[in-house]
Chain A
Amino acid sequence: MHKALELGKEHGKALGISFILIFAIIFIAFSKESIGVVLRLAGSMFWLYVVPGYFLLGIVSEKFDHAERIVLGTIVGIGAYGALGYNLGLLGVKFSLQRWIVPIIEIGAGIIFMLKRSPPAEESPATQGKEEQ
């Protein structure tokens, strides 16, 4: 439980900041749109792709920096949602259900792997900012 709380604290902050950034990027591009629409778009992308992908990358033993994890996690999230959702659709599961259960499955899988991993993953050179400049 304690480990789960720690994880929540660590990743919650990163995800919170990335949500604000995604919202801001969309809002700058579509400044004449209502905040409600932008908020709903950012929130939906966040739920369907960003958060699930972020946690799916938790399966990897590398501890990526937050930007890399958000960007590549989003692509993985899109890919995983599309692949899993399509196959569930073939089995008769409609979008109305897919949009809730697919992200939950992905997030759940990521969290289980992250909690299982012990000791904590070693930091990558990228995380440490020790890359060649």
Chain B
Amino acid sequence: MLAVFAAAFLYLALGEPWEHTIKHAHPYSYLASDAYLHQAMAQYAKDSGRVKFAAPYSIGGYEESMDMHPPMLSQISASLSLMTGIEVYDITMFSAASALLLAMLAAYFIWRRGSKAIALIALPTMLFMLTGRLPALTYWGYWLLLHGVMLLLAFFWALTHWEKKGMPFVAGVLLSAIALTHQPEMVFAGVFFAGFLVLKIWGEKSWKERKAAIVMVKKIAAVGIIFGILSFYSLLIFSKTYLLSEGYRNAWDPEELRGGYPVFNLGDLGLFGIIAILGVAGFFLMKKEKLWKPASVSLYCFILGFSIFFGLGKRGYAHRLFWFIYLSFFFGLAVYAALRIFLKNIHGAIPFGIAIFLMVLIVPKIYGNTKIGPGSMNPYDWEALQWIGRNIPPEGYVYYFYSDALSHNAPIYSSKRIGFNIRLQEYIQAIQSGNIQEKYTFGLADGYTVYLHPLSPFSFCYYAHELKPRNGSLECLPTYQRYIKVSKEDEVKNLCDISYYYFDKQASQPVLAQYNMAIREVLLKNGWIKEIYSNPLVSILQNEKPGDDCVAQSA
């Protein structure tokens, strides 16, 4: 049953959008900026052989600035890409879909601690994770979260086996891994673990025997020591970066607190939700001790989605997107309890049959909806980005005029060069003016908010400027403060001062591409500005005399 479920999930979640191939010529089925960011980070890790520093081209050109993102995704994607020879952008998304699958299977095994029948009935309903707005988790790039939830559920599974010798070691490894993957889940795991220990200590009847106390202390110490060793450095970086720039979100505005996640409320659970609520009621009525472990995990995870009421914002909201997994236990319990009304002895084949029936019912509802195709990237822009990385010198800045595929910053990191992206609003105003302007407004393509530089393994300073100063000075401050933004001089760029221009010849809004081409034509009238790369969509120009008047003469 597990193999059938896994095959069905992978077929629908990734096989369909990827048109049943693994290797692609460019990032495939990528729908949002985060996905490009993660693959670019993993690519840099692969290129540099380890996860430590951020890619210089994603942080304004600094060579040695600690990667403030949790390292796990880059670590596993880069390694797997190196082993398989498959491109990082394919492997990273594959890893994310696999993480979601493994999270579901981990939940299944937690539910099975209560009852195999309930777990079997619950399993197919987890496929609802591929309905509505939820596939965004995979295609928009919420990949740290997906891996975090997978490890969180595995950690809870380990706690359901806490009494087994050796399990604290496994729990320690998993808790460390969560810390290296997505810190909000580490906090949620820590809170649950603390509550779990309090209840264990409270409920232990043999405290009078010294041995029981010693065993408990040893187990907690094992988790603490492993966690301390494996996650110390990553958490040190976290404490000096994200914790300072973000920390407690204190988000209360209903729109803002979602932080870009798709809307998901109780009503979106539909009939599944109603049945699950009946399951919750059934659980409290049945009072079966064996069901407590899975039920407490299920309820705790479900409640995480309401932690928005404590100001946790998107970190809590994110867990609403997993309610179909978390509440599947109570769905299974409700169906199981209903069966018990009619049948005194439930044969093992019955839950199995129900699981198959539910699969047959749910799969056709999903089939076809995940065929999203190539996504926001196309082979021409991708090839041009790769060409830039191979042919433009590392110190060369590239200025991107409007491109559908590169309208966000993160795809530009794949050029492995510092990029400036045209500001759309100002560009539209320029189009409306009907003239080629002398100056255009750009934004530095970067994705980090803290540039942490190591002075020694345990002491750090913060680079002061968002863009590395061209005079080579590296102003590094002892304490964190938001860096000094790119100067107006760099952002409002004189067209003739640019060295490398990137134009798309077509766009979803034709007027944007037409204006791109008009600027290109004006520039090419100057003998010192040449086209150095071209394909059916992209044209890249090089200005050999930056600073020389290039508009007045040709206008």
Cβ–Cβ contact A75 & B150, under 8 A: yes
Residue of A83, A84, A85, A96 with most partner-chain B CB within 10 A: A83
| Residue in B10, B14, B50, B84 whose CB lies within 8 Å of A94 | B50
List the B side residues contacting A118 at CB < 8 Å.
Answer: none
User: Is the CB–CB distance between B83 and A80 below 8 Å?
Assistant: no
B174 at the interface (CB under 8 A from A): yes
The answer to whether the Cβ of A82 comes within 8 Å of any Cβ in the partner chain is: yes
CA gap between A33 and B346 in the complex, in Å: 43
> Restricting to B33-65, which residues have a CB under 8 Å from any CB of A?
45-46, 49-52
The answer to whether B102 touches A90, judged by C-beta atoms less than 8 angstroms apart, is no
Contact (Cβ within 8 A) B20 A31: yes
Interface with A: B72-80, B403-411, B504-512, which one? B72-80
Chain A contacts for B10, CB-based, 8 A: 25-26, 28-29
Q: Does B328 contact A (CB under 8 A)?
A: no
Question: How far is B14's CA from A56's CA once the two chains are assembled, in angstroms?
Answer: 29
Kindly list chain A residues whose C-beta atoms are within 8 Å of the C-beta of B106. Answer: 71-72, 75
In the assembled complex, how far is the CB of residue B70 from the closest CB belonging to chain A, in whole angstroms? 9
- B109's closest neighbor in chain A, by CB? A68
Q: Are B176 and A83 in contact (CB under 8 A)?
A: yes
Specify which chain A residues have a CB less than 8 angstroms from the CB of B78 in the assembled complex: 95
Q: Given A68-B109, A133-B116, do A86 and B72 touch, yes or no (CB 8 Å)?
A: yes
In chain A, positions 68-116 with a C-beta closer than 8 Å to chain B are 68, 71-72, 74-76, 78-87, 89-90, 92-96, 98-99, 113
A83 to B10, CA, bound (A): 26
CA distance A61 to B72 in the complex (A): 28
Chain A residues 34-64 with CB under 8 Å of chain B are 37-38, 40-41, 44-45, 47-49, 56-57, 59-62
When distances are taken between beta carbons in the complex, the residues of chain B under 8 Å from A87 are 229-230, 233
A79 x B166 contact (CB < 8 A): no
CB atoms of B52 and A28 under 8 A apart: no
Label chain B's interface by main secondary structure.
Answer: helix
Contacting residues, chain A, for B20 (C-beta < 8 A): 29-33
What 1/0 flags go to B71-111 for Cβ under 8 Å of A?
11001101110111110000000100000001001100100
Per the bound structure, the CA–CA distance linking A47 and B80 in Å amounts to 10
Instruction: Determine the residue in chain A with the shortest Cβ distance to B71.
Output: A86
Which chain B residues border A32 with CB–CB below 8 Å? 19-21
Q: Is the CB of B351 within 8 A of A82?
A: no
CB contact between A76 and one of B51, B75, B80, B170 (< 8 Å): that residue = B170
Closest-CB distance, A84 to chain B (whole angstroms): 7
Task: Tell me if B477 counts as interface (CB < 8 A to partner A).
Answer: no
Q: Is B164 an interface residue (CB 8 A)?
A: yes
Range of interface residues on B (Cβ < 8 Å): 35 or more
| B residues near A4, Cβ cutoff 8 Å | none
User: For A38, what are the chain B residues with a Cβ–Cβ distance below 8 Å?
Assistant: 22
- Whether B234 lies near A86 (C-beta < 8 A) is yes
Residues of chain B within 8 A (CB-CB) of A28 are 7, 10-11, 15
In Å, the complex CA distance between A108 and B489 comes to: 59
A86 to B488 CA separation, bound complex (whole angstroms):
39
Confirm or deny: B169 has a beta carbon within 8 angstroms of a beta carbon on chain A.
yes
Chain A residue contacts of B85, Cβ below 8 A: 40
CB distance from B49 to the nearest CB of A (A): 4
A22 to B186 Cα, complex, angstroms: 29
Chain A residues with CB under 8 A of B161: 60, 62
Q: Is B115 an interface residue (CB 8 A)?
A: yes
Give the distance to chain A from B161, nearest Cβ to Cβ, in Å. 6
Does B476 sit at the interface, judged by CB under 8 A? no
Mark each residue of chain B from 470 to 488: 1 if its CB lies under 8 Å from any CB of chain A, else 0. 0000000000000000000
Q: Are B112 and A33 in contact (CB under 8 A)?
A: no
Given contacts A21-B3, A84-B230, A131-B116, contact A60 B166 (CB under 8 A): yes
B102 proximity list for chain A (CB < 8 A)? 71, 74-75, 78
Distance in angstroms between the alpha carbons of A80 and B72 in the assembled complex: 10
Q: In the complex, A117 Cα to B468 Cα: how many Å? A: 57
A10 within 8 A of B: no
Q: Does any Cβ of B come within 8 Å of A5's Cβ?
A: no
Check: B540 CB closer than 8 A to any chain A CB. no
A61 x B164 contact (CB < 8 A): yes
* A7 touches B (CB below 8 Å): no
Contact digits for B148-165, partner A, Cβ 8 Å, 1 yes 0 no: 001100100100010011
B177 at the interface (CB under 8 A from A): yes
Contact A33 B234, CB 8 Å, known A79-B173, A79-B174, A95-B49: no
Contacts of B109 in A (CB 8 A): 68, 71-72
In the complex, what's the smallest C-beta–C-beta distance from A99 to chain B, in angstroms?
5
The verdict on B276 contacting chain A, using a C-beta distance below 8 Å, is no
Convert A3-32 into 0s and 1s, putting 1 for each residue whose CB lies closer than 8 angstroms to a CB of B.
000000000000000000100111011111
Asked if A67 is an interface residue, CB under 8 A from chain B, the answer is yes
Chain B residue contacts of A24, Cβ below 8 A: 3, 7
CB distance from A30 to the nearest CB of B (A): 5
Kindly report which residue of chain A lies nearest to residue B174, judged by CB atoms: A79
Taking the closest CB of chain A, its distance from the CB of B267, in whole angstroms, is 32
CB closest chain-A residue, reference B233: A90
- Shortest Cβ gap from B248 to chain A (Å): 26
B498 at interface, CB cutoff 8 A: no
- Could you jot down 7 A-B contacts, CB within 8 Å? A30-B21, A32-B21, A48-B83, A68-B109, A78-B147, A81-B75, A132-B115
**In the complex, given contacts A30-B15, A60-B161, A71-B2, what are 17 additional A-B residue pairs having Cβ atoms less than 8 angstroms apart?**
A24-B3, A29-B7, A37-B22, A37-B86, A40-B85, A41-B84, A49-B76, A62-B167, A71-B102, A76-B174, A78-B177, A79-B72, A79-B181, A86-B180, A90-B233, A94-B49, A126-B116
